[in-house]
Amino acid sequence: MSNLFSRDIDLKNYSWFNLGGPAKNFFKPKNNTDLINFFNKKNDINKNIHILGAGSNTLFRDGGYNGTIIKLGKEFSNIEILNDGNLLVGAACLDKKIANFALENSFKDFEFLSCIPGSIGGAIAMNCGCYGNEISKLVISVDAVTFDGQLKTFNKDQIKFFYRGSDFGEPLIITSAKLKGSKGKKKEIQEKQNKFLDQKKKSQPSKIKTCGSTFKNPGNKKAWELIKDSGCINLKVGGAKLSNQHCNFFVNEGNATSKDIELLIESVKDKVYLKTGIKLDLEIKIVGKN
């Protein structure tokens, strides 16, 4: 195996929950060719695959992952302004870095990305958003390597974006994206970014081990309101609890296991269903074995 691969990597260091067992294989490609070669290999290394971004929406189970985790190397963190005035960003680039780059260069509509702690690959996969914005609105096209080893460009109209997700019609790893560059006034962009950051600070906890909203909002209802109204606020399992500031944020107090988080998820789901008849759907991704 080349130095792009490691074995028995502790996944808790790669999730915002700070939880999870070991990954059997961990693959960190430096470029598209590494990825294409990986998918074209004829052995077991590419049979059971999970793509990891910044891990801000991923709970790894305590038993770890019996396959290969792919995490794009830092070489995929580029940002550049193209001749047509749009932005080209590598999929590993953090949303915050893109928001700050946009601010620096007076591109508007990226302000909300300053509030989202993931990578742009994860943002597109999840169609992340807040305060009335969604990444889909900025996407022009996406480059990806498919699991059968082809580099493809998908124009926006070939991608199905929906609330907290997207569908490319086949399994793939996003490697870069072309995002709409609309010029604005730097002062206004700065003010909007500050307003969003302020709103986030007031409504959501920070500096805790969490992956943000655990459940999607069902229809026009708010998951956190359903959780609160169903009497879940003080529920706890082992070292897992709900955030005092935002009860849809589940928290590892420091000594939780992934199992604790999952049991808490089940318990909240049950209580909300019994009280309201609504079945909450997970926004976070749960990966691996118990």
Residues at the site binding ligand FAD, with contacts judged by CB under 6 A: 16, 51-58, 91, 115-119, 121-123, 125-126, 128-130, 173-174, 210-212, 285
Single out the residue of 89, 71, 90 nearest to residue 81, CA to CA: 89
* Nearer residue to ligand FAD within complex by CB, 42 or 202: 202
Beta strands in 95-224 (DSSP E): 107-108, 129-130, 133-134, 139-146, 151-155, 160-162, 165-167, 172-179, 182-183, 209-213
Tell me the C-alpha distance between 155 and 135, whole Å.
14
**Of the two residues 16 and 107, which places its CB atom closer to ligand FAD in the complex?**
16
CB of residue 52 to ligand FAD, shortest distance in Å = 5
User: Smaller CB distance to ligand FAD: residue 186 or 246?
Assistant: 246
CB of residue 20 to ligand FAD, shortest distance in Å: 12
Pick the catalytic residue: 134, 164, 166, 262?
164
With beta carbons less than 8 A apart as the criterion, state whether 145 and 46 touch.
Answer: no
Specify whether 164 is catalytic: yes
- Decide whether 128 or 261 has the Cβ nearer to ligand FAD: 128
Residue 59 contacts residue 263 (beta carbons within 8 Å) = no
Q: Which residue type, as a one-letter code, is found at position 285?
A: K
Q: Which of 114, 176, 213, 258 is catalytic?
A: 213
- In the complex, the smallest distance separating the C-beta of residue 174 from ligand FAD, rounded to whole angstroms, is 4
Q: How many CB atoms lie within 10 A of CB 96?
A: 16
Closest approach of ligand FAD to the CB of residue 82, in Å: 20
Query: Distance between CA atoms of 233 and 229, rounded to whole angstroms?
Result: 9
Which amino acids are annotated catalytic?
Answer: 164, 213, 283
